Amino acid sequence: MLKYYGLGILAVFFWSFNVIFGSHLVGVLMPWQISFFRWMIAAICLLPFTFRKIWKHRRLFCRQWRLVLALALIGITFSNTCVYYAAYTLPAIDMALISVTGPVFLILFAHFLGHIPVSKVQIRGITLAILGVLMIVLKGKITSFSFQSGHLWMILMAVSFGFYSYLVSCHHSGYRQVTMLSLSILIGALSCLPMFVHETLIHPLKMTYIDWDVILIILYMGIVNSVLAYLLWNIALQKVDSVRLSLVYYLMPIFSTLEAFLFLHEPIHRLQLVGGSIILMGIYLANHGRMNNAFERKKK
C-alpha cells in the first residue's frame, strides 16, 4: 500500500510545477493556447501505445460515453485551463495554496455522492491542514486580503479536480487506466481546439517570444504533468481510499514554495514554514485516524 501513496505524492510533486510554469507563460501564450499545446503533446505521446486498446474497447467506451466525456472536459480541459486564467492576477505560490483545497471537494463528493464515511479524526486532520493553508495564504493579515478573479478561477479548478478524482476513484472496468487516460486526453485536446483557434485569431502567436525555455516548459507540461502525473494519480486512486489519498495533495504548497524559492528566488517566510508544518501534522493525523473500510471493501 505504501508504494501507491508514493505514486500519489510523486504525481503531486510533478503537478506542483504547473502553477510556476503557468505564471512564466503569461504574456507569451494565452490560456487556451497553453492547454491545447499541452494536451496535444500528451495525446501524441500516448496514442501510439494505446490506440489499439482504445479501438478494442470502443464499444465499452461508447456505452460509458458520459463518464469518458466528463473525465475529458472536467479533469483535462476545464480544470487546467482555470490555472492559466488565474495566473494573470495571482502569484504562483498563492495559486498552489488555493489549489490544495481540491481534495476537500473530493472528500465532499465521495461523502455525499458515494456515501463514504469520514471519521471525526479525519475531519480534525483535514481542518488542521486547511488552517495551515489559510495561515500561508492570509500571511497573518486577514484585513488586508483582497479577492481577485484569480481566486475564483482557482476555486473552480479545485472543485473540478475534486470531481474528476471522485469519478476516477469510482470507475472500475476491464481496461487499464492508461487506456482511459489516453482517450480522455485526446478528447480534451480536441475540445481545446475551437477556443485555441478563437484566441489565436485575436492574439496571434508571437514567435519571437517562444524561446527554448518556453518549448521545454510546454514539453514538460505535456509529457510529465499531463501523462506521467495523471497516470500515477489514477493508479493510486484505484488502490488507495480516495479520502486517505486526497490528503497527500496538501503537500502541493510545500513543494511549490520550495520550487519558487529555488527557481524564482522568492523568499520563504516564517508563516510559510509554520503553515507547512501544520499541513504535515494534519496529513499525519488524518491518515492515522480510524475510518470505516466500506470504501475498500466496495473496491474488492
Query: Residue 291: its pLDDT value, please?
Result: 43
Query: Residue 299: its pLDDT value, please?
Result: 46
Q: What is the per-residue burial (b if ≥16 Cβ within 10 Å, else e) of 245-280?
A: bbbbbbbbbbbbbebbeeeeebeeeeebeebbebbb
Query: Residue 209: its pLDDT value, please?
Result: 77
Q: What is the per-residue burial (b if ≥16 Cβ within 10 Å, else e) of 8-21?
A: bbbbbbbbbbbbbb
Query: Residue 286: its pLDDT value, please?
Result: 65
**Residues present in the chain in total:** 300
Q: What is the pLDDT along the chain (300 residues), one digit of tens a residue?
A: 778 889 989 999 998 888 888 888 888 999 999 999 999 999 999 999 899 999 998 898 898 899 889 989 998 899 989 999 998 888 777 787 778 777 778 877 888 887 777 778 878 877 887 787 777 667 656 555 566 788 889 889 989 988 988 887 776 555 567 888 899 999 999 999 999 999 999 988 877 778 888 999 999 999 998 899 988 988 887 777 766 777 787 788 788 878 878 877 777 777 767 877 887 787 777 666 544 444 444 444
| pLDDT tens digits, one per residue of 120-179 | 887 887 788 778 777 766 765 655 556 678 888 988 998 998 898 888 777 655 556 788
- What is the Cα–Cα distance from 117 to 111, expressed in whole angstroms? 6
